[in-house]
Amino acid sequence: MAFDIEMIKKVYASMPARIEAARKLVNKPLTLTEKILYSHLWDGNATTAFERGKSYVDFAPDRVAMQDATAQMALLQFMQAGRPKVAVPSTVHCDHLITAQVGSAQDLNVAEVTNKEVYDFLSSVSNKYGLGFWKPGAGIIHQVVLENYAFPGGMMIGTDSHTVNAGGLGMIAIGVGGADACDVMAGLPWELKFPKLIGVKLTGKLSGWTAPKDVILKVAGILTVKGGTGCIVEYFGEGVTSMSCTGKGTIANMGAEIGATTSTFGYDESMERYLRSTDRAEVADLANGIKQHLTADPEVYANPELYFDQVIEINLDELEPHLNGPFTPDLATPISKMKEEAAKHGWPTKIEVGLIGSCTNSSYEDISRAASLAKQVADKDLKTKAEFTITPGSEQVRYTIERDGFLETFDKIGAKVFANACGPCIGMWARVGAEKAEKNTIVHSFNRNFAKRADGNPNTFAFVGSPELVTALAIAGDLTFNPTTDFLTNEKGEKVKLDAPSGDELPVKGFAVEDAGYQAPAADGSGVEVAVSPTSDRLQILAPFAAWEGTNLTGLKLLIKAKGKCTTDHISMAGPWLKFRGHLDNISNNMLIGAVNFFNDKTDNVKNQLTGEYGPVPATQRAYKAAGIGSIVVGDENYGEGSSREHAAMEPRHLGVRVVLVKSFARIHETNLKKQGMLGVTFANPADYDKIQEDDTVDVLGLTEFAPSKQLTIVFNHKDGSKDEILVNHTYNEQQIEWFKAGGALNIIRKQVAN
């Protein structure tokens, strides 16, 4: 069934004229990215040619998607906006709160009991305000969106950084914080700085052991975790058109790991096949009617260097399978080089667990190709040396792969099937023995591999690869095994070689499912009650943040000077903390507990300037708040990398942090800070980071003349009576300055509705 078909018809009806208006205005051929952006302007047809990387633009996204962990805070904010119903099609997906431990059925049953209060809240809010609700077990948000809602040429936002997955079906799909989602659901424009464009030309064709995942692993190695910041990546070339739609989804999905705003692909036959296979023939027919508008103008791909800010070319005929990691998704190693790299760095080579699935790699094609390798275990008298797990992306995929015998094949090699949920990919994995913090190696087909990410063990070396490579490595149990060249010794003592994986792009018998897990909203939700207990430790009605005092900020204490990588996992951990995602005060007890303190190289251990004692970061900040003293957080490069979780911005705001000063920000986190009324600034001279001392008291000057592009001054008053005065930059525009003054964007929305 095609959801929201009337909305899609409306988008396609206006698209040709809007694209033509934009083409005349910019006076050049357009990339696909530009076509989609210019056809989704809030004010209709383009009247301004926007400057990439500089112009702030108001857009009108077609839809909003939220997962259960982030939806709680997003919908608690939306409830304050005073709107009776969401203004655009919106959905909630229950995928983050299910712990992988025993197996799918039992883990799901435990989650439904443990999280009943949260699920009931999300179900009732969805019913009241007109959102589609996908129940626990229905699947991972991004796979469900790809199967049901994504459409070529559309624009959506989602409260998860991997919303970008829908780019595999030709969308501009962007991860945001809950406040951004609240704006769009409330019927307001959504603001984005017009992105720069990176073109990736794929020549040749994937074959053998190489998979779509290897494309993005290679790109991550080229661009690093921040090389795509402020950019949209557009893929094109013969290598793209020969690739499956879900393969494109994998590449788009993990584009979040290079900091890209999103990634996208032009509409082609693989997308049409996928739409028809997922019961959306009507969408395919509509797309076919305007297909020339759903890809770049021909001149763009003929001479990409004239139309993109950066062009990368990858020959798929020469591309090797890659493993990225450990501890960062951009450390790319071709499998042929892994043996020497592992020896050079002392990485543990015995693989303990191989995990496939997740929102990145859980398509029918992924599972079928992995199953072709699992089948060889029995056929070649082999024995799987590592534990092996599968996390299906949706109930539709799970039901279909069970029907087609793949789960039985995996069962024969001792695999464990987890629930259709995020599970180990986001730290919701009750891994036996992880608390011992032993040094070990795992391989997985997920997207992120930060320290502690999967199992909470800082000594788990996690490597990212394709499902095919992960399966082969789990069979071998050896990180240095190269399936393209190496042999294994079977149970008979014979040398055998794994055949290259094979599988079907789409199920020959079509997809099937008994209960997809969808709950449609009530036709009239006005009578639906949304109850939040005042004594709940899981949910808490939000109180508005205080407006800016109208003065400079003086007497701030340095809370922490974070050293090195500080992702949103470091600022607001997931795993067991997910249960507090709807309770701001409780989850604030994890604020910055993963960040490394520059002054002692410890985590969750900072100096309380009021007592001189060292203690946990949240407790220290609560002491400052109780004393009526604000504070400042200092960070390194790409601060806030990773997940879109706005809790990483809301927790400091709630506990009284006033300023975040870093060398550079990741895009989503910087926006989240602005939305919550925080002051996020960057060093004009990054070397000034070294001037900050542990006992500093800090003044921020120039706020009374706060204006776009105008630098602010920060004074670090040292304990010995000396001081350092530095300049800092910011990217606030007029509207964002108003958010700061009002104490947050939501306070402005509330006023607008009241008026």
Question: Which tokens is 51 given?
Answer: 């400057």
The answer to whether residues 393 and 140 touch, using CB atoms and an 8 Å cutoff, is: yes
Q: What is the DSSP string of 593-633?
A: TTSBBTTTS-BS-EE-TTTS-EE-HHHHHHHHHHTT--EEE
Let me know if 273 is a catalytic residue: no
Let me know if 696 is a catalytic residue: no
Catalytic residue among 4, 62, 95, 688: 95
- Please state, in angstroms and rounded to a whole number, the distance separating the CA atoms of residues 214 and 206: 10
H/E run at residue 668: helix 667-675
Question: Mutual orientation of helices 245-254 and 269-277 as an angle, nearest 10°?
Answer: 100
- Please state, in angstroms and rounded to a whole number, the distance separating the CA atoms of residues 170 and 31: 12
Question: Dihedral through CA 565, CA 328, CA 262, CA 73, nearest 10?
Answer: -60
Distances (CA, A) of 184 to 130, 156, 189, 485: 14, 10, 6, 52
Q: Is the previous residue joined to 326 through a cis bond, with omega within 30 degrees of 0?
A: yes
Burial label for 19, CB within 10 Å (0-12, 13-18, 19+), is buried
Catalytic residue among 368, 572, 631, 643: 643
Whole-number CA gyration radius for the chain: 25
Left, alpha or beta for 511 (phi > 0: left; psi -120 to 50: alpha)? beta
- Please state, in angstroms and rounded to a whole number, the distance separating the CA atoms of residues 689 and 632: 13
- Please state, in angstroms and rounded to a whole number, the distance separating the CA atoms of residues 437 and 20: 59
Catalytic residue among 96, 322, 369, 730: 96
Let me know if 297 is a catalytic residue: no
- Please state, in angstroms and rounded to a whole number, the distance separating the CA atoms of residues 387 and 414: 8
Catalytic residue among 448, 538, 581, 654: 448
Angle, CA 185 vertex, CA 183 and CA 186 arms, to 5° = 65
- Please state, in angstroms and rounded to a whole number, the distance separating the CA atoms of residues 37 and 43: 12
Let me know if 645 is a catalytic residue: yes
Alpha helices in 391-535 (DSSP H): 395-403, 406-412, 467-476
Strand intervals (E) in 288-437 = 310-315, 322-324, 332-334, 351-357, 387-391, 416-417
Question: Which tokens is 84 given?
Answer: 């009776």
Q: What are phi and psi of 638, to 5 degrees?
A: 55, 40
Residues 6+ apart with CB under 8 A from 322: 213, 214, 217, 218, 221, 332, 333, 334, 335, 465
- Please state, in angstroms and rounded to a whole number, the distance separating the CA atoms of residues 566 and 243: 35
**Nearest alpha-carbon partner for 255 in 227, 218, 216, 229:** 216
Catalytic residue among 160, 297, 455, 604: 160
Residues 6+ apart with CB under 8 A from 198: 223, 228, 231, 232, 233, 234, 260, 308, 309, 310, 311, 312
H/E run at residue 36: helix 32-38
Catalytic residue among 645, 647, 653, 667: 645
Alpha helices in 149-244 (DSSP H): 178-185, 212-223, 238-241
Let me know if 95 is a catalytic residue: yes
The answer to whether residues 102 and 496 touch, using CB atoms and an 8 Å cutoff, is: no
Question: Which tokens is 740 given?
Answer: 């700061």
Let me know if 96 is a catalytic residue: yes
Question: Which tokens is 402 given?
Answer: 């069970």
**Nearest alpha-carbon partner for 634 in 592, 576, 585:** 592
- Please state, in angstroms and rounded to a whole number, the distance separating the CA atoms of residues 175 and 256: 9
Return the active site residues. Answer: 95-96, 160, 448, 643, 645
